Amino acid sequence: MNDSLKGVVMEAIAEGRVRMRPRWHFLIYSAFGVVGVAIVSLLLVYVASLAVFFMRESGALFTPSFGMRGWFVLLRGLPWILITLVLVFIALLQLLARRYRFVYQKPLIASLIVIVSIVFLGGWAVGESPLHRQLADGAHHGNLPPPAGFLYGTGLRPPREKELYHGVIARILPEGFILADFKDATSTVLISRGTRLPFGADFEPGDFVVVIGDETSTDTIRAFGIREVRE
């Protein structure tokens, strides 16, 4: 049996029925693996940063400073489609990376921590850069091809939160201020004793602010919380 097994294999090799794959086959395979990891990593950072950009743009990113109600606004305002995509890409990257010895020899949690750190740092860095703003403006003015229009239009954006307002102070009033949103619509924001102002009330015209509150009548908002944000 032993000899016959060796004989069968060596005969198959000698007759050319079994062939050695050339080294370049494996080099290309490895290169595809590296390129795959790089592409998925870039997509991951891009999608994560787009999620950060949408949350910044809607103001949802800043609402946790208002307490529990702010956290609920954030949860409702999360871009769930993008977050799902981020999770899918994390799983895909994990699968691709576990082919490598330095990854599989460590516990899964170690590579997950590295990937999630890349997502947070990369997502935050790109989200803070003007990249998405410029692309969104380009898509808005029809200067970019249709996929960008879908990405930056309503396709992946979370629906607008009813109690969340983001804009610039147009005018200071005795009982609050006039808020102009990014479509140039205006609302009156009323500040009361109970309004939460985690970063103070030193507002001036031209300040960018995030407001959560209830619309009491047309274009009037009773503010639950207000904070200034950097634009």
Partner 1 sequence: MSEESDEQIAGSVQSGDIERFGELIERYQAKLMRYARKFLRDPEDAADIVQDIFIKAFENIQSFDAARRFSPWIYRIAHNEFVNALKKRASARISFGFDADTLFPHLPAPEETDSATLDRDLRSILEAHLDELDSKYREPLILYYFESMDYREISDILAIPVSTVGVRLARARERLRAVAMRKGEL
The whole-angstrom separation of Cα 33 and Cα 12 is 31
Q: Which is nearer to partner 1, 2 or 218 (CB)?
A: 2
Q: Does 125 bind partner 1 (CB under 8 A)?
A: no
CB of 182 to partner 1, least distance (A): 44
Q: How many C-alpha atoms does 5 have within 13 Å on its Cβ side?
A: 2
Q: Does 141 bind partner 1 (CB under 8 A)?
A: no
Site track for partner 1 across 22-51, x = CB under 8 A: xx-xx--x----------------------
Site track for partner 1 across 172-211, x = CB under 8 A: ----------------------------------------
Site for partner 1 in 6-25 (CB under 8 A): 6, 8-10, 12-13, 18-23, 25
Residue 203 — left, alpha, or beta (φ > 0 → left; ψ -120 to 50 → alpha)?
beta
Contact 54, 158 (CB under 8 A): yes
Site for partner 1 in 78-117 (CB under 8 A): 98, 101, 104-110
The whole-angstrom separation of Cα 146 and Cα 112 is 34
CB of 106 to partner 1, least distance (A): 6
* Residue linked to tokens 């082919």: 99
The whole-angstrom separation of Cα 227 and Cα 196 is 8
Classify residue 201 as exposed, middle or buried by CB count within 10 Å of its CB (0-12, 13-18, 19+). Answer: exposed
What residues line the site for partner 1 (CB under 8 A)? 1-2, 5-6, 8-10, 12-13, 18-23, 25-26, 29, 98, 101, 104-110
